[in-house]
Amino acid sequence: MIRKTISLLLAALLLLSLLSASAEEEVSAAGENRICLLCGSEYPGGACDACGAVEGLWECFDCGIRNCLPACSSCGISRQDSVRKTAACGNLLLAYPAVRYLAARQDAAALCALAGYYRSGVILPRSPESAAACLEQACEKNYGPAFLEYGRELDRGDFLEKDPRHALECFLRAAELGVAEASWYLGVYYAEGVVVTRDDARALEYYRLAGEAGDPDSWMSLAWCYAEGRGVERNIEMAVSWYEKAAEAGSAMACDYLGYCCMTGELVPRDPAKALEWYEKAAALGSARSMMALAVACEKGEGMEPDPAQALSWYEKAALAGRQDALAPLRRLSEKEDD
């Protein structure tokens, strides 16, 4: 009996030493303080100052059970796998503790995500400096998406200070690391002559690289090049085929433009009924411009019999989607309906 008790005590001490060693490894990886996996707060140890959770407590992403050990007592998923699933779940509030936890351990994807929190002002205060620092740390790890995001911010100039030359460097590095969308940005820079000499042929080459990697924006750009004869001989059939490819991939902009072409006769023979089909696809994908086009078509009877009730519905949807020019006809048709 005494031997059994001593064995159990030794086993318990061994388990505690392993858990302690694991905790020490995590702390050394993250710095002096811990990150609470329930609320994302930083705390010195023991229990979280913000939510009171004991050190090491985490909630399983798959089954919702709370655990202190490295694997879930219910489903067996490891803490690390659960944390990564939580960080990538797409819910900003739910993902935050996991993102902060992984970012503290210099995980490149989590650092990019943390930069997004600083940009949006969700949970964390808006801070260009903190966002830039997160992206720079992720770039130091040669993480392609970080170079792309940093380049975007420097290109837009609405959050970080605009710096197209530095943005170009970021896009070049992201493209080298296999990020397709970065090649599209490089194509735009050469097409527009931004900090480089305008070169339509080189722009087309970058669009092709991105397009071959499956980037729908690049299919739109390739279509434009063929339609305008930029960097390649003008070819309307090829332009339309690229627009259709982008539309089939779910590009609202491509569906909307094909609707415009069919309604006006640009690039293709005029076909109002076909235009309405494209506009409806674009509207289903969230295109406010197509909602407005459908409202006008329903009111005027373009490609269909006039339908004021349907027009009213589309004007309302367009207004809710942010089209200010839908407000006046919406009021006008609403007043007619009341009469």
* The pair of three-digit structure tokens given for residue 326, joined into one six-digit string: 């839908």
96: Cα within 13 Å, side-chain hemisphere: 15
Quote the pLDDT of residue 335.
87
The answer to whether the CB of 152 falls within 8 A of the CB of 163 is no
Beta bridge partners of 66: 59
Distance CA 321, CA 136 (A): 35
Name the band, by pLDDT with cuts 50, 70 and 90, for residue 45.
confident
Pairwise pLDDT comparison (338 vs 80), residue with the higher score: 80
Say what the pLDDT of residue 339 is: 62
Nearest to 259, CA basis, from 234, 235, 289: 289
Give 55's Cβ-side CA count (13 Å radius). 14
The helix or strand, by DSSP H or E, that contains position 95, with its residue range, turns out to be: helix 92-104
**3-state per-residue secondary structure call for 154-181:** HHHCCCCCCCHHHHHHHHHHHHHCCCHH
Question: What is the structure's pLDDT at 19?
Answer: 40
Q: Please say if the pLDDT value at position 108 is more than 80.
A: yes
| Locus of tokens 């433009």 | 257
Q: Rounded to whole angstroms, how far apart are CA atoms 5 and 25?
A: 30
Residue 217: the pLDDT is 85
d(C-alpha 88, C-alpha 86), whole Å: 5
The string of pLDDT tens digits covering residues 193-252 is 999 999 999 999 999 999 999 888 899 999 999 999 999 999 999 999 999 999 999 999
Q: Give the phi and the psi of residue 332 in degrees, each rounded to 5.
A: -60, -50
Query: What are the structural domain ranges in the chain?
Result: 27-105
Spatial separation of the C-alpha atoms in residues 129 and 160, rounded to whole Å: 8
What mean pLDDT is predicted for residues 304-322?
A: 95
